[in-house]
């Protein structure tokens, strides 16, 4: 594959890219042209279609397209002049070339996650989690491939699964250290805590906040989902359901971070710590691995409200 990062002025390129933005504009002279942004996992590039001739087939934003274009430079940046264009067919391209994917094997991670699913002994909670994580193929399929965030930690295919698994690992550690913790409640809440992101963030290839994501947020979406299922499990104790829901509602830890309740049970507190700890240490790791800054200091990082340093001495 011809990656965007490797394009050079003057070459002619035929390749599939993801069209992440399409604008229909007019020149001063009144002629219509298209201005596009094309993406693969190595970067984004501007492209123009000046001549809307027969070689330019119909296509939409957020679709994969096959282009035939000349690489030029404009104001010190690479730009593509597209001469021919058609939609790509499924199978012609590998989505993994277009956004980052978890380094870990998704199947293996899901196996590890199922260990926690099966570890839940309370019959009501066991029924609840199995309805989603074992019986619901659509849910499982999306859960496995979703991202955990728009721009931060775990913003890649499989990120939601990877984050959920890391949170579960820390929950297990905490439940072993602080034995007042009810493992069944904590594991259940950890499994579900971010599933609402499957509806809050649009799926690959374009990660954007959805309408329900902005209006309700992933916490409330999650509550709606499990609330509905709980209602259908005969005999599910109200208090038990409320304790799981409370953990999910409170997992951001503070009202100002969007949790409508502060943690009031030890499981809610433990889930908040596990979630926060994984999010922050993963982000820090990504920073350390991804930064191209030379020297030890990587500059001010808003999420840490601080400059950040490599560990070198």
Q: Is the backbone peptide bond immediately before 257 cis, with ω within 30 degrees of 0?
A: no
20-29 long-range contacts (CB < 8 A, ≥24 apart) are 20/44, 20/61, 20/62, 20/205, 20/206, 21/61, 22/59, 22/60, 22/61
CB of 269 to a copy of itself, least distance (A): 6
CB of 220 to a copy of itself, least distance (A): 6
Which residue, 153, 114, 141, 112, is CA-closest to 130?
Answer: 114
CB of 308 to a copy of itself, least distance (A): 6
Cα–Cα–Cα angle for 130, 278, 20, rounded to 5 degrees: 85
Residue 191 vs 244, nearer CB to a copy of itself: 244
CB of 281 to a copy of itself, least distance (A): 5
Residue 53 vs 306, nearer CB to a copy of itself: 306
Residue 81 vs 122, nearer CB to a copy of itself: 122
Show the tokens assigned to 260.
């409508």
Residue 55 vs 260, nearer CB to a copy of itself: 260
CB of 46 to a copy of itself, least distance (A): 15
Show the tokens assigned to 41.
């996992």
Q: Is 86 buried (19+), middle (13-18) or exposed (0-12) by CB count in 10 A? A: middle
Instruction: Give the torsion through C-alpha atoms of 12, 14, 17, 23, to 10 deg.
Output: 60
First to last CA, the chain: 40
Residue 28 vs 137, nearer CB to a copy of itself: 28
Residue 120 vs 243, nearer CB to a copy of itself: 243
CB of 59 to a copy of itself, least distance (A): 18
CB 64 within 8 A of CB 57: no
CB of 146 to a copy of itself, least distance (A): 19
Rounded to whole angstroms, the Cα distance separating 132 from 184 reads 16
Residue 14 vs 73, nearer CB to a copy of itself: 73
């Amino acid at each position: 594959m011809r990656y965007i990062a490797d394009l050079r002025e003057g070459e002619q390129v035929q390749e599939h890219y993801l069209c992440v933005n399409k604008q229909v504009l007019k020149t001063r002279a009144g002629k219509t042209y298209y201005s596009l942004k094309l993406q693969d996992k190595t970067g984004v590039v501007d492209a123009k279609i000046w001549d809307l001739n027969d070689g330019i087939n119909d296509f939409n934003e957020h679709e994969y397209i096959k282009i035939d274009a000349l690489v030029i430079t404009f104001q010190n940046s690479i730009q593509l002049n597209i001469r021919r264009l058609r939609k790509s067919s499924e199978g012609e391209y590998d989505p993994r070339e277009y956004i980052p994917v978890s380094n870990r094997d998704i199947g293996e991670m899901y196996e590890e996650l199922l260990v926690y699913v099966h570890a839940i002994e309370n019959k009501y909670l066991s029924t609840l989690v199995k309805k989603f994580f074992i019986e619901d193929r659509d849910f499982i399929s999306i859960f496995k491939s979703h991202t955990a965030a728009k721009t931060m930690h775990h913003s890649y295919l499989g990120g939601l699964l990877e984050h959920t698994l890391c949170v579960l690992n820390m929950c297990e550690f905490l439940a072993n250290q602080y034995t007042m913790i009810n493992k069944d409640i904590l594991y259940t809440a950890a499994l579900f805590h971010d599933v609402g992101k499957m509806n809050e963030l649009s799926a690959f290839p374009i990660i954007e906040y959805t309408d329900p994501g902005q209006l309700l947020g992933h916490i409330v979406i999650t509550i709606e989902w499990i609330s509905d299922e709980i209602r259908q499990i005969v005999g599910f104790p109200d208090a038990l359901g409320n304790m799981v829901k409370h953990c999910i509602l409170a997992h951001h830890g503070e009202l100002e971070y969007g949790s409508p309740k502060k943690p009031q049970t030890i499981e809610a507190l433990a889930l908040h710590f596990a979630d926060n700890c994984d999010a922050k240490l993963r982000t820090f790791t990504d920073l350390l691995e991804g930064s191209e800054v030379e020297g030890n200091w990587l500059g001010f990082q808003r999420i840490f409200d601080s400059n950040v340093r490599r560990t070198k001495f």
